[in-house]
Structure 1
Amino acid sequence: MILHSPALHFVSWRPFNWDACDCTVEFRRSTSSTLGSYSHGLKFGLERVLAGQSKSGTFLCTDQRQAQNPPTGKRRVHRQNVDLPPIQSKKKKKPFPIPLKKITEAARADKKLAQMGVEKPLIPPKNGLIVPKLVPVAYDVLDAWKIVIKGVSQLLHVIPVHACSECTEVFVGQASHYIQDCQGATSAARRNFHSWVKGSINDVLLPIESYHLFDPFGPRVTHETRFDYDRIPALVELCIQAGVDIPGYPSRRRTVPIRMLGKKVIDRGGPVEPPEQSCSPHAAASILEFDTYRTHERFSSPLESEVPGTAQKTIEAYERVKIGLKKLMKKYTVKACGYCSEVHVGPWGHNAKLCGEFKHQWRDGKHGWQDAIIDEVLPPNYVWHVEDPKGPPLRTSLKRFYGKAPAVVELCFQAGARIPTKYKPMMRIDIVVPDKEETSLAA
């Protein structure tokens, strides 16, 4: 059944194969939204066009675009190829995760309230109080983080990791790749080939540390007092401030909120002296569970039958860590330097003059603090994906056909784990890598 539409466009068309058919075809295209919703609204009024007869006919072809009012619900599109986030230039500051316009508007509103003598309205945890519903999330993040550290340490006994001694390139697999993309100091003498050495867990889980603060709303860390504070993983420090109690690393739990007038804290609830640091073996062992220090010695190699199960537990725990971090970072403030990899957990960044990146002389070595994103607290550290670990090594000529994945995901994949669907497009699993001789023929 063909619906009649008042708006039809007529255009003459002649086939391209003039020897096969000598005819004139009239093309009618509808622009109505009713016909546009049909995907098979094509009627041939021409019979035996290619049979060598000279006949005239009409084509009625409806527009295959969707209707103006599409049905509700999102359509899931399966992608084969997704590019990774672009690498930011080290000669520029990182983009702000929050638009600069919103930052300036919020600053002007705070300044206006301060000039009027009105205190800044604060809600937990911005006022120093913890959020009770996020305490279980923080404990779950630390439990999953321990599983990730243990799993990666055990898998490193089975799947080797290679690291370049001249640049930051990391490769997961039995044999290193031959892709010429080294940016090290002596790369020109090696024709941009990497100088591979044996990697460690710190090449898979990049260590991002932060100062541990007993009172995040207390005095800032200065350049002279920076050695008075311990450095622990930023992920662990965030969970401590969210309500996790770890022996040896106390944190102030306020019952009375702080008061602020603009950017100035007018009431911190009185000074509280931090308890003395405990040097007991129990306190040292508690923080060692969340650190990657000497994990190769602490965890032995799993049995061959246990490798796929260990890899699956590791990738699931890794996803739990990322989901929990997103929930915590929506409430608790985490700052990151816009020029280097320094991260600070707390409402304000520290004042230690340790930044040595682009134009640090203009800032006297101070960091350019801005809101952090999850990839700065838990860097994914993308590595080349190897579809067949026992196949030929990766080469520069086929570079554009290879995919990438976070180092943890690639390590678990080669150990036999099932990869989450969201990583498959960036790993380009559905793309067939051509042979070396077929490179020039591939699109």
Structure 2
Amino acid sequence: MALRKKLWCTILEDVNGCTMFSRFYSSKVDLKKLRPMILKRIESRAKDYPIQAMIPVAQDVLKTRALLIQGVSTLINVFPVMACKFCPEVYIGEKGHLIQTCHGYKRYAKNQVHEWISGGLNDILVPVETFHLQNMFQDVIKHHQRFDLDRVPAVVELCWQAGADPYNDNLHVGGWKSDSMCGDVVGAESLSPHDMRLIAKGTLRAWEALRHGVQKLLLAYPAKVCKHCSEVHVGPSGHKARLCGVFKYETWHGTHFWKKAEVDDLVPSKLVWRRRPQDPPVLLDEGRDYYGHAPAVVDLCTQAGAIAPSKYFCMMKVQGLSAPVESNFEAVY
């Protein structure tokens, strides 16, 4: 009995000691007093932007974007681009492939043969638009304000907030708005193979420089992308416009779920099936495990004579085996 009493006394002493040195926090917070402090901190943070050292990077990104649009616009007039009528699949060649990867409109079907139509510039360089902000730290965009703001390309908005001027004639060759990306170049068919190869090399360099520059800017400037759709917002926090088309009928009524954006969210790679010299003239569904992929810009430039960077060799399966020859190939196509 005495031992039990002594044990309880020891436990109570330990509890009292922990309570004496612990901190108590009140759950009541006066938000009215905190709001001016938060706003003042946001205003003082805005004075640090744009970062002067990043302005040349943003200007270079706009220049390389203009060169990329101009180069791709020239190449697609010589090398045909095919786009599926019912899904986002793209193929660079005179005839589309026979690989059954079409999911149909809104993915109602599965593993269907694509129905090919003529593609354009937006099939190679996928446009990604975002709301244009007057300044990076302005108030969060509400749902009813979604029609009051302009929609601009996400890369242009990122460079805009980084201090570059997209209206500068030296930075927006070929236009910076999405509706100006029509890509109709006169006289592209008359270019010599040597000139075409030079254009392809310059276009490929512009593609790599654009992605590298955007990656640099994303290290200094915040950008968000929705987890469930391709909506992008350039700024410290996402907007409140309920535009998420995938889940707009769910309980959250189309509200976006934001996460940190990466380069592929602002500059999509748009992977396409790539035909190698050892592959048949038309890619068949039976050989889909043997064929390689490549970003659409890379595939387009390599067909024009440029050499792809070695980092793409793995996905392109340059030295990979060819698919087994089917006896009924001529009968299929």
1:145-189 C-alpha deviation (Å, 9 max, x unpaired):
111000000000111111111111111112211111111049999
**CA distance in 2 between partners of 1:229 and 1:130 (Å):** 21
Match of 1:290 among 166, 171, 176: 176
Q: Does 1:380 align with 2:300?
A: no
Residue of structure 2 equivalent to 1:422: 311
SS of structure 2 residue aligned to 1:133: helix
Structure 1 residues 425, 286: CA separation in 2 closer, same or farther (over 3 Å shift)? closer
Coordinate RMSD, CA, aligned: 3.2
**In the alignment, is the contact (CA less than 8 A) between 1:187 and 1:194 conserved in 2?**
no
**One-letter code of the match for 1:241?**
Q
Deviates more, 1:297-306 or 1:334-343: 297-306
Poorly superposed stretches of 4+, deviation over 6 Å: 116-126, 186-191
Structure 1 residues 124, 207: CA separation in 2 closer, same or farther (over 3 Å shift)? farther
**In the alignment, is the contact (CA less than 8 A) between 1:150 and 1:295 conserved in 2?**
no
Match of 1:304 among 192, 212, 237: 192
**CA distance in 2 between partners of 1:228 and 1:339 (Å):** 24
Report the alpha carbon displacement of residue 228 of structure 1 after superposing the two structures with TM.
1.8
**CA distance in 1 between partners of 2:201 and 2:223 (Å):** 30
Structure 1 residues 354, 389: CA separation in 2 closer, same or farther (over 3 Å shift)? farther
Match of 2:65 among 145, 166, 171: 145
Report the alpha carbon displacement of residue 361 of structure 1 after superposing the two structures with TM.
2.4
Report the alpha carbon displacement of residue 126 of structure 1 after superposing the two structures with TM.
6.7
Q: Does 1:401 align with 2:290?
A: yes
Greater percentage in helix? 2
**One-letter code of the match for 2:115?**
S
User: TM-score, normalization: structure 1?
Assistant: 0.60
**CA distance in 1 between partners of 2:220 and 2:43 (Å):** 10
**In the alignment, is the contact (CA less than 8 A) between 1:173 and 1:389 conserved in 2?**
no
Mapping for residues 39-438 of structure 1, pairs under 5 Å? 128-185=48-105, 192-247=112-167, 286=172, 289-292=175-178, 293-297=180-184, 300-301=187-188, 303-305=191-193, 306-358=195-247, 360-388=249-277, 391-437=280-326
Report the alpha carbon displacement of residue 427 of structure 1 after superposing the two structures with TM.
0.2
**One-letter code of the match for 2:176?**
F
SS of structure 2 residue aligned to 1:361: coil
Q: What 5-or-longer segments of structure 1 have no aligned partner?
A: 1-111, 249-281, 439-443
**CA distance in 2 between partners of 1:352 and 1:287 (Å):** 32
Structure 1 residues 327, 188: CA separation in 2 closer, same or farther (over 3 Å shift)? closer
Residue of structure 2 equivalent to 1:67: none
SS of structure 2 residue aligned to 1:151: helix
**One-letter code of the match for 2:62?**
L
Structure possessing the higher radius of gyration over alpha carbons: 1
Residue of structure 1 equivalent to 2:12: none
**CA distance in 1 between partners of 2:110 and 2:247 (Å):** 27
Report the alpha carbon displacement of residue 378 of structure 1 after superposing the two structures with TM.
0.6
**One-letter code of the match for 1:131?**
I
Structure 1 residues 304, 340: CA separation in 2 closer, same or farther (over 3 Å shift)? same
SS of structure 1 residue aligned to 2:144: coil
**In the alignment, is the contact (CA less than 8 A) between 2:242 and 2:248 conserved in 1?**
no
**One-letter code of the match for 1:321?**
L
**In the alignment, is the contact (CA less than 8 A) between 2:63 and 2:172 conserved in 1?**
no
**CA distance in 2 between partners of 1:338 and 1:142 (Å):** 27
**In the alignment, is the contact (CA less than 8 A) between 1:176 and 1:196 conserved in 2?**
yes
**In the alignment, is the contact (CA less than 8 A) between 1:223 and 1:352 conserved in 2?**
yes
**In the alignment, is the contact (CA less than 8 A) between 1:311 and 1:413 conserved in 2?**
yes
**One-letter code of the match for 2:118?**
K
User: How many residue pairs were aligned?
Assistant: 291
**CA distance in 2 between partners of 1:186 and 1:363 (Å):** 21
SS of structure 1 residue aligned to 2:282: coil
1:299-323 C-alpha deviation (Å, 9 max, x unpaired):
5415023111101100001000011
SS of structure 2 residue aligned to 1:401: coil
User: TM-score, normalization: structure 2?
Assistant: 0.78
Report the alpha carbon displacement of residue 297 of structure 1 after superposing the two structures with TM.
2.8
**CA distance in 2 between partners of 1:399 and 1:390 (Å):** 11
Q: What 5-or-longer segments of structure 2 have no aligned partner?
A: 1-28, 328-333
